[in-house]
């Protein structure tokens, strides 16, 4: 029996220039590793006996699906690639979820497409499980993100620098897969008709209140500003913030070489391909402004009065750093217990971060320890901490519910890099218990789970993950 997925596909109705209709490439012997039942229910997918492995490997195309590979372009590390596109993914279609929102269902690692570049269109198990765990943890932490519906091993090997690895397919759910790069591909081709069709589609799907492309840009600026502040507040480093990995929906997408910091330092980089730290933790707020300036460039030709549009959009782009700063202040205010932090509170937060950076303090555990009164143990310069603590306490005197606020803003547990690596190693060896454990504990990341305290421990020196890699 097949799975009843209530497809309602709109992207497939767009002009042919937007995509290539293409079924996933079947795999040898699919086996289901994970299925997100709660998310399936949210999507209106009726739980029933079905060959989930065959469906989520792409071997069996479910009724109502219109599989396609999406076209896009993008700036990768600042250099423009005029044509990218899904090189190893198939959008099966969309469903309207329980809350009335349209959601994409996409298979990733599902075979080559006309847009594949120097690759086999496949993914290996490591990045598939990494994205599964991290995206679901991000969701549990309240960050806008794509979700993970299923993971399947294919029974085939994929070959990477390190040799043969088990192939896998991830089923990803997203508010949409429209990227800054989706607009860029049509601008690069001077295809104004498609650009307008994409604007109309995106406006209806993500910003129906927008009266103009300028309005839509402002809405995206706001969402992305909020998103970057949320990443920063959790010590999250995306790792590959190319314009093709920046969504119009404001969701985090494409968990490749992403990582959470253990020791705090704003210059932290994990990605093996980010040699110059373009996407370092502290640079994300600058890069996103640059990325949205590329979106603005794409939207200018849609205005009748282009000079006025340039002026208006330039103003909005230039205002973005301050907007990010305001969301940052609010998020980090909560992290130190303040309900509504104001500009005058900024030095208090900056001072704590400077102390943490000087100490190489654990980002997550130091903030969490504030509520328990044990943060002093996390830093090396105790005198400086005591001086900061006195100022902090004086400021907290006028607040109520501070411990609760801090526990709600500072996760008890995050998906630490070394735990992810250990989980992947176990999964490759056929042991899914570490994956199950991470999924269980990370489902309620703000709740102290004393029996699982081992997962809050920073890595020992032998466990430290120095570099992360793209899925490719």
**Active-site amino acid positions:** 244
Least distance between ligand AMP and beta carbon 54 (Å): 22
| Contact flag: residue 120 with ligand AMP (CB under 6 A) | yes
Q: 175 vs 245, which CB is nearer to Mg ion?
A: 245
Which range binds Mg ion by CB under 5 A, 6-14, 60-68, 240-248, 263-271?
Answer: 240-248
Q: Which of residues 240-279 bind ligand AMP (CB under 6 A)?
A: 245, 254, 256
| Contact flag: residue 243 with Mg ion (CB under 5 A) | no
Least distance between ligand AMP and beta carbon 72 (Å): 8
Q: 85 vs 445, which CB is nearer to ligand AMP?
A: 85
Which range binds ligand AMP by CB under 6 A, 31-39, 116-124, 130-138, 201-209?
Answer: 116-124
Q: Determine the Cα–Cα distance for residues 74 and 302; give it in Å rounded to an integer.
A: 19
| Contact flag: residue 254 with Mg ion (CB under 5 A) | yes
Q: What number of chain residues touch ligand AMP (CB under 6 A)?
A: 18
Token duo for residue 227 = 């998103």
Token duo for residue 233 = 């507040």
| Contact flag: residue 184 with Mg ion (CB under 5 A) | no
| Contact flag: residue 471 with ligand AMP (CB under 6 A) | yes
- 117 interacts with, out of ligand AMP, Mg ion, none, CB within 5 to 8 A per kind: ligand AMP
Q: Determine the Cα–Cα distance for residues 251 and 365; give it in Å rounded to an integer.
A: 26
Structural contact between residues 243 and 294, judged by C-beta atoms closer than 8 angstroms: yes
- 44 interacts with, out of ligand AMP, Mg ion, none, CB within 5 to 8 A per kind: none
Q: 258 vs 317, which CB is nearer to Mg ion?
A: 258
Q: 54 vs 258, which CB is nearer to Mg ion?
A: 258
| Contact flag: residue 84 with ligand AMP (CB under 6 A) | yes
| Contact flag: residue 81 with Mg ion (CB under 5 A) | no
Least distance between ligand AMP and beta carbon 461 (Å): 30
Cα 371 to Cα 365, 403, 407, 429, 456, distances in angstroms = 11, 5, 7, 40, 16
Among 176, 202, 245, 249, binds Mg ion (CB under 5 A): 245
Which range binds Mg ion by CB under 5 A, 227-235, 246-254, 291-299, 313-321?
Answer: 246-254
Q: Determine the Cα–Cα distance for residues 202 and 213; give it in Å rounded to an integer.
A: 10
Q: 131 vs 254, which CB is nearer to Mg ion?
A: 254
Among 117, 315, 382, 440, binds ligand AMP (CB under 6 A): 117
Q: 5 vs 89, which CB is nearer to Mg ion?
A: 89
- 434 interacts with, out of ligand AMP, Mg ion, none, CB within 5 to 8 A per kind: none
Structural contact between residues 245 and 238, judged by C-beta atoms closer than 8 angstroms: yes
Residue, CB closest to Mg ion:
254
Question: Exposure of 212 by Cβ count < 10 A (0-12 exposed, 13-18 middle, 19+ buried)?
Answer: middle
| Contact flag: residue 166 with ligand AMP (CB under 6 A) | no
Least distance between Mg ion and beta carbon 245 (Å): 5
Among 10, 20, 83, 116, binds ligand AMP (CB under 6 A): 116
| Contact flag: residue 470 with ligand AMP (CB under 6 A) | yes
Site residues (CB under 6 A) for ligand AMP? 84-88, 115-117, 119-122, 245, 254, 256, 470-472
Site residues (CB under 5 A) for Mg ion? 245, 254
């Amino acid at each position: 029996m097949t799975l009843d997925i209530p497809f309602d596909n709109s992207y497939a109705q767009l002009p042919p220039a937007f995509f290539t209709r293409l079924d996933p490439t079947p795999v040898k012997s699919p086996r289901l590793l994970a299925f997100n039942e709660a998310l399936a229910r949210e999507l209106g997918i009726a739980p029933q006996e079905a060959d989930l492995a065959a469906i989520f490997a792409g071997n069996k195309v479910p009724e109502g699906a219109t599989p396609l590979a999406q076209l896009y372009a993008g700036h990768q590390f600042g250099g423009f690639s005029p044509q990218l596109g899904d090189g190893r993914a198939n959008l099966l279609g969309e469903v309207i979820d329980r809350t009335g929102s349209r959601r994409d269902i996409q298979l990733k690692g599902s075979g080559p497409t006309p847009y594949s570049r120097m690759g086999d269109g496949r993914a290996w198990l490591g990045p598939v499980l990494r994205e599964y765990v991290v995206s679901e943890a991000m969701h549990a932490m309240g960050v806008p993100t794509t979700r993970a519906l299923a993971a399947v091993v294919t029974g085939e090997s994929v070959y990477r620098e390190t040799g043969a690895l088990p192939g896998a397919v991830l089923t990803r759910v997203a508010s949409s897969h429209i990227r800054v790069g989706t607009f860029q591909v049509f601008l690069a081709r001077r295809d104004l008709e498609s650009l307008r069709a994409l604007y109309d589609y995106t406006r209806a799907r993500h910003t129906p209140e927008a009266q103009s492309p300028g309005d839509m840009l402002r809405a995206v600026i706001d969402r992305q500003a909020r998103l970057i502040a949320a990443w920063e507040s959790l010590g999250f480093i995306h790792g590959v913030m190319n314009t093709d990995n920046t969504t119009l929906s404001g969701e985090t997408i494409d968990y490749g070489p992403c990582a959470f910091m253990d020791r705090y330092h704003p210059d932290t980089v994990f990605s093996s391909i980010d040699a110059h730290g373009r996407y370092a933790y502290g640079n994300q707020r600058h890069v996103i402004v640059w990325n949205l300036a590329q979106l603005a460039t794409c939207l200018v030709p849609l205005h009748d009065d282009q000079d006025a549009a340039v002026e208006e959009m330039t103003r909005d782009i230039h205002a973005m750093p301050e907007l990010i700063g305001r969301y940052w202040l609010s998020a980090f205010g909560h992290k130190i217990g303040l309900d509504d932090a104001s500009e005058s509170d900024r030095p208090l937060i900056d001072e704590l971060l400077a102390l943490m950076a000087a100490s190489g303090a654990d980002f997550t555990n130091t903030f969490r320890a504030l509520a328990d009164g044990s943060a002093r143990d996390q830093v090396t310069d105790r005198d400086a901490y005591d001086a900061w603590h006195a100022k902090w306490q004086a400021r907290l005197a006028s607040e109520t519910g501070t411990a609760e606020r801090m526990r709600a803003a500072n996760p008890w547990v995050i998906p630490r890099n070394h735990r992810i690596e250990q989980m992947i190693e176990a999964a490759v060896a056929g042991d899914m218990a570490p994956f199950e454990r991470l999924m269980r504990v990370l489902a309620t990341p703000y709740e102290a789970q004393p029996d699982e305290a081992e997962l809050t421990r920073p890595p020992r020196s032998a466990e430290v993950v120095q570099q992360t890699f793209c899925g490719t």
